[in-house]
Copies of this chain bind each other. A is one copy, B any other.
Amino acid sequence: MFDILPLKGGLDNVEGFFSGGVSVGLKTENKKDVAFIRSDTLCDVGAIFTSNRFQAAPIRHFKRYGEIFQTNFILINSKNANAMTGEKGVDDIDELFLHIPSFLNAKNPIMSSTGVIGYRLDTQKIAKSFELFDFNAKDSNAAAEAIMTTDRFKKEISVRVDVEGKGSFHIGAICKGAGMINPSLATMLCFIATDANVPKELITTLLKEAAEDSFNAISVDGDTSTNDTVMLLSSAKSGVWDQDAFIEALKFITKHLALEIVKDGEGSKKVVAFEVKNAAALDEAKKAAKALSNSLLVKTAIFGEDPNWGRIASTIGACGITCKEESLIIHYDDVLVYSSQKLELDKESEKAANAVMKKESFKIICDLGVGTENYTAYGCDLGHEYVKINASYRS
């Protein structure tokens, strides 16, 4: 038996972790642009990275440490992705890390970056952050702010988990992401810290399991960045371990943050859950749900609040899965909009479906009727704001 209790803030409640964010002038108007997360003891690390073949320099730098290692320091910058910068980009990180104050005893320091592709890091500028940081701060809020790019709001969450007869542990996280969000982890960074006593051989496996139905189920525009990173650090300070409790709490955290990212999808106003039910195989359910969440025609119809279910059907038919016109049933929340028995939207259903679409959040449910597997993907509408933001991102 265990309880998951929501707490305020992000990383601050987790024992042994310190964090903060400062401005060194990468962003304009003195906005915070560099963050650190550190632990006063060495932590095991689990990480998942982008599937993009052009992994950014910080990811390649991380991989130099090998499969299993411990760390106590992460540095994160926004505004510059340090991607497509070759080996020089990786060397820049080493050069930057020479400036880490020695009193921190930084071991295997980790870098993470987000921003524009194709520019070398200004290591002198970023090194200034080491003079500005209060390394004893618990200021997760400032760290969350410093890692934002096109995000409209900060993303933090933390929980305490009480396990009967064992004690309590915490998980906390900060996250960024709004654009280039796609099914296989797009430009998003997420740093999760815990004081649970996670066995080091499980840390990446559990992180992957939690990401599967959360970060891997969301989509804003179907593109995949060079920098996506989800990282889990464990200080083990609580001494408590309960796998069921931990994975449930971790899923709660990752699902919450994933939905926050969709909610913050560039210019989006609505969050839509695309539930694909009774598919012939789990892979097919996933494929259909993600195809729906990525379809431009579906996304613009959602933006226009037009219950044009034909676009839903057409997308299902086009995505290459087993499906039959006769067995397909489509609902918008609880409003039936298509079954082969009920063709053409009557006025009443059209009105009801339109009312559903006016909500800030709703479900589009496609029952394929050809099997028993289900999957839900999350997406958003695409409107004028998306175009505006992405036509002029660099400036």
Contacts and interface: CB of A to CB of B under 8 A. Distances in A.
A350 B55 CA distance: 24
B54 A313 contact: yes
Contact of A304 (B54, B383, B391): B391
Interface in A191-223: 221-223
A132 interface: no
A34 to B, nearest CB: 21
A270 B234 CA distance: 51
Contacts of A55: 317
A382 to B, nearest CB: 7
B118 A303 contact: no
Interface stretch (A67-75, A77-85, A237-245, A250-258): A77-85
A322 B353 CA distance: 45
Contact of A180 (B226, B297, B340): B297
A390 interface: yes
Given A318-B53, A391-B303, A118 B313 contact: yes
Interface in A294-353: 295-297, 300-301, 303-304, 306, 308-311, 313-318, 320-321, 323, 325-326, 338, 340, 343-345
B313 A117 contact: yes
Contacts of A392: 304, 306
Given A86-B325, A301-B391, A303-B387, A224 B52 contact: no
A104 interface: no
Given A223-B315, A390-B296, A343 B306 contact: no
Contact of A390 (B116, B184, B301): B301
Contact of A117 (B295, B304, B314): B314
A342 to B, nearest CB: 11
A345 B391 contact: no
A65 interface: no
A223 B314 contact: yes
A120 B386 CA distance: 35
Nearest to A116: B310
A309 B179 CA distance: 17
A240 B338 CA distance: 51
Given A54-B314, A317-B53, A344-B120, A391 B387 contact: no
A224 B314 contact: yes
A329 B111 CA distance: 27
B340 A306 contact: no
Contacts of A361: none
Given A310-B118, A313-B117, A318-B51, A222 B296 contact: yes
B52 A314 contact: yes
Contacts of A310: 81, 83-84, 116-118
B317 A390 contact: no
A114 B77 CA distance: 50
Contacts of A63: none
Interface string A357-371: 000000000000000
12 contacts: A52-B317, A52-B318, A54-B317, A86-B325, A86-B326, A116-B308, A118-B310, A223-B314, A226-B317, A296-B390, A297-B390, A384-B387
Task: Please list the 4 inter-chain residue pairs (A to B) with the smallest Cβ-Cβ separation, ordered nearest first.
Answer: A117-B310, A304-B391, A54-B317, A300-B390
